[in-house]
Structure 1
Amino acid sequence: MSNLHSIISVAKQAIEIEYKAIQNLIPLVDEEFANAVNCIYQSKGRVIITGIGKSAIIANKIVATLNSTGTPAIFMHAADAIHGDLGTIQEEDVVICISKSGNTPEIKVLVPLLKNGPNKLIAITSNKESFLGQQADYVLNAYVEKEACPNNLAPTTSTTAQLVIGDALAICLLELKGFSSSDFAKYHPGGALGKKLYLRVSDIAATNQKPSVTPDTDIKQVIIEISEKMLGVTAVIDQGEIIGIVTDGDIRRMLNKYDNINGLTAKDIMSVNPKWIEADAMAVDALDRIESYGISQILVKDNDQYAGVVHLHNLIKEGII
């Protein structure tokens, strides 16, 4: 038990140290940060991000975030840069160099080579007075008092701070570019996230059968229609308009209510004013309505015409839930 308490205590302490370090970054965001953002925004090139060790891993993450939010970015490893990868940098690119100390041997070799070109250099460092800090055109202060590591050695708090600064950069650029959710969808077409952003109700309804009966359809035929179309529901259509819905729940309630179902028709058991959604609505909106109404399926309309059904199972299958 004491071992468990010790683990919990150490974990909470690590989180607390990093939490405080992130809070301490807020007053460090100043005009220089804003000028660095404007430098990237006004550039006609890409953002080249470089670093060594754990900072290189953070650089990769920031590159991914920038690319996914509309700012073209490329990772360049600081060690590889001096062995040919400097050719990655084009004339109008902006270079971001990440280093906690700003004084590592690789950085001291790389920075003068970067300064030989026309590119603006942005530093993300915990030491503004470092070699990197002194040489950079803009310095983004990622100062941390100590690492979460009890030996104050393993990069933990410092890499978290670098990541947060990178995220802040990306979000500022996103805002300046007016990057919308539809833009985001273009860069995230795969997976559940992409589907939430681009999949529409019509896309799902088109894959389903389209159960329908008239108000005077015999109840046995209604049951057959629901069974064959395998959506647990059928729309009741009169002169092209949806006037009701019959669900498998309506069928069960009918069987409990009537000993003899001969002569019954759809209009005798249908629910009027059924829930529906427009075909061009987002699939995630269909999920919201299904959940809010406490139902399993919802009818679809396209220009006031019956266009099909979306079932909760469809949304689960597509990964919307």
Structure 2
Amino acid sequence: MNLVNNITLTAKKVLHSEAEAIAKLADFIDEDFENCVEAILQIKGRVVVTGIGKSANIAQKIVATLNSTGTPALFMHAADAIHGDLGMIQPEDFVICISKSGNTPEIKVLVPLLKRKGSQLAALVSGKDSYLAQNANFILNAYVEREACPHNLAPTTSTTAALALGDALAVSLLEARGFSSADFANLHPGGSLGKRLYLMVEDIYGQNQAPSVRENASLKEIIIEISSKRLGATAVVKDNTAELVGIITDGDLRRMLNKFDNLEGIQAADIMTPSPLTIEPDHYAAEALAIMQEKNITQLIVTKSGKFEGFVHLHDLLKEGLV
């Protein structure tokens, strides 16, 4: 067997092994897990997540997930805790200690100190009979049979399982709190993710010009309006009102050339697309993007109670990083 085949088989074996271990975690969600979630919901302080070695790396990720989903949390390295950082923990805090074995020397030193602080302690462990598990208020069972490492030494499957269980905890807390997409947006104002959750059509369409013509506008007026406003389209409104009745795009003009032999006397009403797609200013910009993508169009008319307001263009959404 060549080297490439060996690499492929090894990679697949690791992924299958870790996937199987995560699937088995579902069988370990028990009353202790439920009680742990309920206890965290009642605390007045923060969730402090600690660990050592690779478990410390996982702890940092869980802290980030908790903070971003409405549960205030902070990270404390287990080794640093016994050299001064223990002072960051208050009695009203809740501590989650991550350790595969639950028997490492640093953990054995740390646990009595945590209990002296008066904080509740959850053990996220692979060994339910370990020192850590036996001295915790709650056990979050992350048992794995073996690591994906062929020597069963390097933390691989165990850290993946701990991370997955941390996600399960964070999402359980999120749902129990009724944490909404609006709450999520408040914590993620930057980047495209945040903008999808808070950017409204009214925030962006006003920067564009608002091309419009009346129903009886001439072909010359239509072309000048589309060309001068540079959006590739114009709205068609009822005479002397802003009531929207149609849209004319560059594509409509091209189709007109095939439809009419004589262009003299053509008016907007003759070539417009009636009842065009629209969106209200108080809708999310992401909704406008979804409509454009579904209908394969590049601009969308903005209306308020049927009255023409302006256009939102695909380029606006690109500039905002939504695409």
Matched residue type, 2:319: K
Q: 1:176, CA displacement in angstroms?
A: 0.9
Partner of 2:204 in structure 1?
Answer: 204
Alpha-carbon distance between aligned partners in 1 of 2:11 and 2:207, rounded to the nearest angstrom? 48
Q: 1:262, CA displacement in angstroms?
A: 4.1
Question: What is the CA RMSD across the aligned residues, in angstroms?
Answer: 1.4
* TM-superposition CA deviations, 1:71-124 (whole Å, max 9, x none): 000001111111111111122110111011111111111111111111001110
Structure-to-structure mapping, 1:227-266, within 5 angstroms:
227-238=227-238, 239-258=241-260, 261-266=263-268
Q: Kindly indicate whether the alpha-carbon contact (under 8 Å) linking 2:89 and 2:117 is maintained by their aligned counterparts in 1.
A: no
Q: Kindly indicate whether the alpha-carbon contact (under 8 Å) linking 2:210 and 2:229 is maintained by their aligned counterparts in 1.
A: yes
* TM-superposition CA deviations, 1:25-56 (whole Å, max 9, x none): 11111001111111101111100001111111
Partner of 2:320 in structure 1?
Answer: 318
Q: 1:160, CA displacement in angstroms?
A: 0.6
Whether 1:216 aligns to 2:254 is no
Stretch moving more, 116-125 or 306-315 = 306-315
Aligned-partner SS, 1:109: helix
Alpha-carbon distance between aligned partners in 1 of 2:26 and 2:270, rounded to the nearest angstrom? 65
Partner of 1:117 in structure 2?
Answer: 117
Whether 1:306 aligns to 2:305 is no
TM-score, normalised via structure 1 length: 0.96
Alpha-carbon distance between aligned partners in 1 of 2:277 and 2:26, rounded to the nearest angstrom? 48
Alpha-carbon distance between aligned partners in 2 of 1:297 and 1:171, rounded to the nearest angstrom? 37
Aligned-partner SS, 2:179: coil
Q: 1:263, CA displacement in angstroms?
A: 3.2
Alpha-carbon distance between aligned partners in 1 of 2:131 and 2:117, rounded to the nearest angstrom? 18
Aligned-partner SS, 1:139: strand
Partner of 1:279 in structure 2?
Answer: 281
Alpha-carbon distance between aligned partners in 2 of 1:240 and 1:210, rounded to the nearest angstrom? 11
Alpha-carbon distance between aligned partners in 2 of 1:292 and 1:27, rounded to the nearest angstrom? 41
Alpha-carbon distance between aligned partners in 1 of 2:67 and 2:216, rounded to the nearest angstrom? 58
Structure-to-structure mapping, 1:97-108, within 5 angstroms:
97-108=97-108
Partner of 2:57 in structure 1?
Answer: 57
Partner of 2:70 in structure 1?
Answer: 70
TM-score, normalised via structure 2 length: 0.96
Aligned-partner SS, 2:103: coil
Partner of 2:184 in structure 1?
Answer: 184
Stretch moving more, 288-297 or 237-246 = 288-297
Aligned-partner SS, 2:143: coil
Structure-to-structure mapping, 1:281-300, within 5 angstroms:
281-300=283-302
Can you give the 5+ residue segments of structure 1 that lack an aligned partner in the other structure?
A: none
Matched residue type, 2:296: G
Matched residue type, 2:186: K
Alpha-carbon distance between aligned partners in 1 of 2:12 and 2:131, rounded to the nearest angstrom? 35
Can you give the 5+ residue segments of structure 2 that lack an aligned partner in the other structure?
A: none
Q: Kindly indicate whether the alpha-carbon contact (under 8 Å) linking 2:279 and 2:301 is maintained by their aligned counterparts in 1.
A: yes
Q: Kindly indicate whether the alpha-carbon contact (under 8 Å) linking 2:90 and 2:117 is maintained by their aligned counterparts in 1.
A: no
Alpha-carbon distance between aligned partners in 1 of 2:204 and 2:4, rounded to the nearest angstrom? 48
Alpha-carbon distance between aligned partners in 1 of 2:269 and 2:305, rounded to the nearest angstrom? 24
Stretch moving more, 254-263 or 97-106 = 254-263
* TM-superposition CA deviations, 1:206-242 (whole Å, max 9, x none): 2221111111222222112112221111101112200
Q: Give the percent of matched residue pairs that are identical in Structure 1 and Structure 2.
A: 60
Alpha-carbon distance between aligned partners in 1 of 2:130 and 2:48, rounded to the nearest angstrom? 21
* TM-superposition CA deviations, 1:282-315 (whole Å, max 9, x none): 1121122222223221111123221211222222
